Amino acid sequence: MRRKLLLGNWKMNKTPSEAKAFASEIKPLAKEAKSHKIDIGVCVPAVDLEGVKKILKKSMIVGAENVHYLPSGAYTGEVSIPMLKDLGINVSLVGHSERREYDNETSEKCNLKILALLENDMIPVYCCGESLETYEAGKTKAFVKEQIVTGLKDVKKEDASKIVIAYEPIWSIGTGKNASKEIAEDVCKYIRKIIRELYDTKTANRVRILYGGSVKPNNIKDYLSEKDVDGALVGGASLKADSFQELLRNIE
């Protein structure tokens, strides 16, 4: 059985001091999550990683929001896998829609990152999702399939189940316009079908698929009640301790 996963994405929020204060506040939630067999964690800005990791240690997942696929080089402003590993970080988001939109992060580039992370025994959280224009044109599944097939190119079967996939319809991120639980389930189920076609049923049944897009305490239970939705990647609702706690308790 796949364990539920609640993962916060802070985006460009919280200074190092704010991040450490927040980490101290949410640390007690780790025990509560464990008792209900739920994995919980946060993906935070690079400047916050060291301080948050020191406080949360192994009690919660602490992930990066981005990583480069090369171990070093003349890439000003980038963060490498060895840098993350030196801090004890073993999870990174890949291909979030905001990076695709603002930083020209293509599925081909995401593929390089996924392969590099897996090579270094790290977990990619691979984001996919369509724009409102694509959704309204009825091309969601074709669009998402391209992202999954390209992103997972050359990923070995034994590594595929280590990847977490997050379906985030762009038209529902930070807009307050929610995809229904039926839409979320339909696309997550389709993603699992793609994994099955690429690998096999056993692999597809092991991959955790998250939903993200205006997930809040009052709707998370509905989303996670669906068969193929294994958790949530949450933005704004993960930035306040009481809201993060409520998200967790509403999964339980």
Q: Which domains does the chain have, with CATH numbers?
A: 4-251 (3.20.20.70)
Q: What are phi and psi of 110, to 5 degrees?
A: -60, -40
Q: Is 29 within 8 Å of 23 (Cβ atoms)?
A: no
Q: What is the pTM of this model?
A: 0.97
pLDDT computed for residue 1 by the predictor: 79
Residues of the chain with confidence (pLDDT) below 50: none
Residue 124: exposed, middle, or buried by beta-carbon count in 10 A (0-12, 13-18, 19+)?
buried
* Alpha-carbon torsion angle 167, 99, 33, 118, nearest 10: 90
Report the catalytic residues. Answer: 96, 168
In this prediction, residue 173 carries a pLDDT of 76
The pair of structure tokens assigned to 120 is 């270094």
- Give the per-residue pLDDT at 176: 66
